[in-house]
Amino acid sequence: MKAGEFLIIGGGPAGLMAALAASEFGVESLIIDENQAPGGQLVKQTHMFFGSKAERAGTRGFEIGLELQQELSTRGIKIETQASAVGYYPDGTVAVMQNERVWPLKPRAILVATGASENFVSFPGSDLPGVYGAGAVQTLMNVYGIRPGNQVLMVGSGNIGLIVSYQLMQAGVSVKAVIEGLPKIGGYLVHASKIARAGVPILTRHTILEASGKDQVERAVIARIDENWQPVSGSQSILEVDTVCLAVGLSPLTEILWQAGCQMYHVPELGGQVAWHDELMMTSVPGIFTAGDVTGIEEASTAMLEGELAGLGAAKYLKGESKELQCRIDDTACRLASLRAGPFGQKAREGKCKLAECRR
Amino acid sequence: MLSDKLTSTGVADQSDLGQAWPSEDRLKQGPVVVVECYQEIPCNPCETSCPRQAIVVGENINDLPKVDHAKCNGCTLCVARCPGLAIVVVNAAYSQTESTVTIPYEFLPLPEQGSAVEGIDRQGRVCCQARVVRVLNTKAQGKTPLVTLAVPKGKEREVRFLRTAG
């Protein structure tokens, strides 16, 4: 395994776009990904993407992943799968493990695009078989063609909760309800309307009290909650379900950034601890870039554009400035800003502002 | 302003729908688009798919689509392109007794042309019997088949989903 100039850790939407953008300016990249196939979360996203034509709006996520891989292979960019970055050393070496063998790679620049992991909530019975993260459910169904259960309670009404509910129904699974602690639905209302008309009640200001069953989940108890997030007495109801699916947010996967000594800050709007980065996604450690959910939980479309920026940033770092490069950077930055310009981008906008100020 | 019902249940109420519904005059002239998109999200395939510029999002991709019903001929191209599946085409001039609604339908099995199905409203309730007039599922729909349902006159305002028998 050869590192090339630019080692990209994580072959999701951000990492793939970074390699493509960097290659436009002659940067030789290697992408490593711990999964069997690259694409990150794109591989299981069967819904059409939002955004504009430039971000491939209207195309389904998994098809975007395939298109990007096709472009990478056309340009001769190498992807090593089932390869994990297991350590960063002070001299800039990244230890990459593949097939029980560790490769010490020493690239001139690194992109950490490792994504995020799912959050969980604890409740009595949350350790029973049948309690899943929504990402796991989506992988089982859409990658492996396996139904996780037959009757599902979805916890969380963000886009992941809403989209996975819809996809469960497409797979012939009955979704008994989607519950949400906040008074308003978290995700896009168009996704909510899709499942509402298919007959799934969305219950805001509700929580799960417990799951129970002999060897696995057989039922779940939910209740309405008041302004102080306390269950309202008498509002409990029992749902006969064999699956409880948790879609309660994501946290950035930042281990490599910590190990590399990047300055990290806690920004709640971005989902937890994230690395400070400049406008071109470079962290406080020169030559180490970061992009996608690991820099703040958002959507795949913004991850793609952040990845593109990071790839262009790496090109500037490795090859120097040029007029053409600056034009590309300005265009990508502008498209990213416009995706975040609406009410749904507010959290990310505020988070990124806070993060930028951390180091001033 | 989004209604509380929409933001807490996902079901649009009259105050939301009012903005989307074409004029009575336009409805009398035949098929026309109804864009039930009420929330500012970064998205514009409706605009780019329309060959007649009847739907405009404009410079800010987060703006709501503005629909010029006079320019729309009800071609249904945008229906399968909307990532939110928030667009239908209604034909209130279909016949003396029936209207049609063309909806995006991403479930299997697809209903058979000519078959009877249940017309389902925005809340998932049965609101009438419906007849499948056409099923369109070519490459152009990109795995979002379009189903045109004939429904009793007036129900084109309510039917947004279908349920097959059994």
**CATH code of the domain covering residue A107:** 3.50.50.60
Confidence label for A121 from pLDDT (cuts 50, 70 and 90): very high
A291 and A344 together in one domain? yes
Comparing CB atoms, the residue among A48, A195, A196 nearest residue B83 is: A48
Which own/partner pairs from A134-139 qualify as long-range (CB within 8 Å, at least 24 positions apart)? A134/A160, A134/A161, A134/A164, A134/A245, A134/A246, A134/A247, A135/A41, A135/A160, A137/A164, A137/A168, A137/A243, A137/A245, A138/A44, A138/A45, A138/A164, A138/A167, A139/A44
Is A90 a member of any domain? Answer: yes
**Domain final residue pick, A246, A278, A308:** A246
State the residue range of the domain holding A280. 6-117+250-357
Enter the ipTM.
0.97
Identify the pLDDT of residue A359. Answer: 82
A183: tokens are 């008074």
Residue of chain B minimizing CA distance to A178: B9
**Domain final residue pick, A246, A281, A299:** A246
Residues of chain B numbered 101-120 and touching chain A (CB < 8 Å)? 106-108, 120
Q: Render pLDDT for A158-182 as a digit per residue (tens, 0 to 9).
A: 999 999 999 999 999 999 999 999 9
Comparing CB atoms, the residue among B10, B43, B144 nearest residue A189 is: B10
Residues in chain A closer than 8 A to B160 (CB atoms) = 197
pLDDT of residue A360 exceeding 80: no
**Domain final residue pick, A246, A273, A308:** A246
By the 10 Å C-beta count (0-12 exposed, 13-18 middle, 19+ buried), A154 is classed as buried
Distance (Å) from the alpha carbon of B63 to chain A's nearest alpha carbon? 8
Task: Check CB contact under 8 Å for A50 and B39.
Answer: no
A61 and A92 together in one domain? yes
A223 and A150 together in one domain? yes
Rounded to an integer, the average pLDDT of A309-317 is: 98
Q: What angle do CA A46, A50, A56 make, to 5 degrees?
A: 80
Residues in chain A closer than 8 A to B143 (CB atoms) = 60
Is A46 a member of any domain? Answer: yes
pTM of the shown model: 0.96
Q: Which amino acid is at A166?
A: Y
A92 and A125 together in one domain? no
A143 and A196 together in one domain? yes
What Å distances lie between residue A114 and A253, A272, B60, CA to CA?
6, 15, 30
Q: Contact A244/A131 with Cβ under 8 angstroms?
A: yes
- Number of domains within chain A: 2
A15 and A63 together in one domain? yes
Task: Check CB contact under 8 Å for B85 and A194.
Answer: yes
A254 and A329 together in one domain? yes
Is A1 a member of any domain? Answer: no
Residues in chain B closer than 8 A to A345 (CB atoms) = 42, 62
Identify the pLDDT of residue B19. Answer: 78
Q: Which residues pair with B163 in a beta bridge?
A: B118
Is A268 a member of any domain? Answer: yes
Domain boundaries, chain B: 4-163
Identify the pLDDT of residue A264. Answer: 98
Confidence label for B18 from pLDDT (cuts 50, 70 and 90): confident
- Give the residue numbers in A contacting B (CB under 8 Å), as ranges: 47-53, 57-60, 169-170, 183-185, 188-202, 204, 301, 338-345
B126 close contact with A: CB closer than 8 A = no
A227 and A287 together in one domain? no
Count CB atoms within 10 A of the CB of residue A220: 30
CA distance B145 to A266: 45
CA distance A287 to A110: 6
Identify the pLDDT of residue A54. Answer: 86
B42 close contact with A: CB closer than 8 A = yes
Identify the pLDDT of residue B166. Answer: 61
By the 10 Å C-beta count (0-12 exposed, 13-18 middle, 19+ buried), B44 is classed as buried
Count CB atoms within 10 A of the CB of residue A12: 31
A275 and A255 together in one domain? yes
A254 and A241 together in one domain? no
Q: What is the DSSP string of B107-141?
A: -SSPPPTT-EEEEE-TTS-EEEEEEEEEEE-SGGG
B129 close contact with A: CB closer than 8 A = no
Is A151 a member of any domain? Answer: yes
Q: Render pLDDT for A9-62 as a digit per residue (tens, 0 to 9).
A: 999 999 999 999 999 999 999 999 999 999 999 999 999 999 998 889 999 999
Task: Check CB contact under 8 Å for A196 and B143.
Answer: no
Q: What angle do CA A312, A47, A126 make, to 5 degrees?
A: 100
Q: Which residues pair with A146 in a beta bridge?
A: none
Q: Contact A202/A178 with Cβ under 8 angstroms?
A: yes
A260 and A346 together in one domain? yes
